[in-house]
Amino acid sequence: MNILSVLKKKHEKQRNQQLHLHGERKQYNTTVNTGLIQNLRKLAAEFAVPRYAITEHLLETGYFYVFRILKNRKKREIIHEHLIDMHILDSGYDDPEELLRIGEGRYASGLISLAKIVIRDFRVLERLLPDAKRTGKFDNIEKARKILLRSALTLAEWLSTHPLEEPDPEEIEDE
């Protein structure tokens, strides 16, 4: 008998035992949005890895952020309502960015939602301007300007009390 083949078998047996010690993999059968499946296929092809590796990593990442959300009562309620309204009642699967980033530190979701309000108010003002120039009535322009100014000041105040360089209070507690 060849000594190398004996050593290979022994090494292979030890390796297989170590794989089982790290935990078994189980299939997690559940229905998901077909768009997610296509995106998983694209990611797996992009990284040249099996789909289960991408799926497992995304579940780990999602769990990490959702676990952080559980520490904050307000964020927990937002996610709870979202899961019921959008996923259980099947109202749609395209989650807005601020909801996807709600578990991030550094106030990402708050900054995104306030910035979107300022952008929305600016676009309203922008749409009203040509009509006001044509008709000569600037009452709606003045109202839209005040709303835009208020939302911009809200964003500025929020930025002054939430510096982006500092960690979330949740991050400080974990250390």
Range 133-136 contact pairs with CB under 8 angstroms and sequence separation of 24 or more: none
Q: How far is CA 94 from CA 31, 81, 98, 116, in A?
A: 16, 15, 12, 17
* Percentage of the residues of the chain whose pLDDT score is greater than 90: 12
pLDDT at 1 over 60: no
Question: Is 93 in contact with 33 (CB distance < 8 Å)?
Answer: yes
The pTM of the full predicted model, rounded to 2 decimals, is 0.47
More confident: 97 or 168:
97
Per-chain mean pLDDT for the chain: 78
pLDDT at 91 over 80: no
What's the gap between Cα 11 and its chain centre?
A: 43
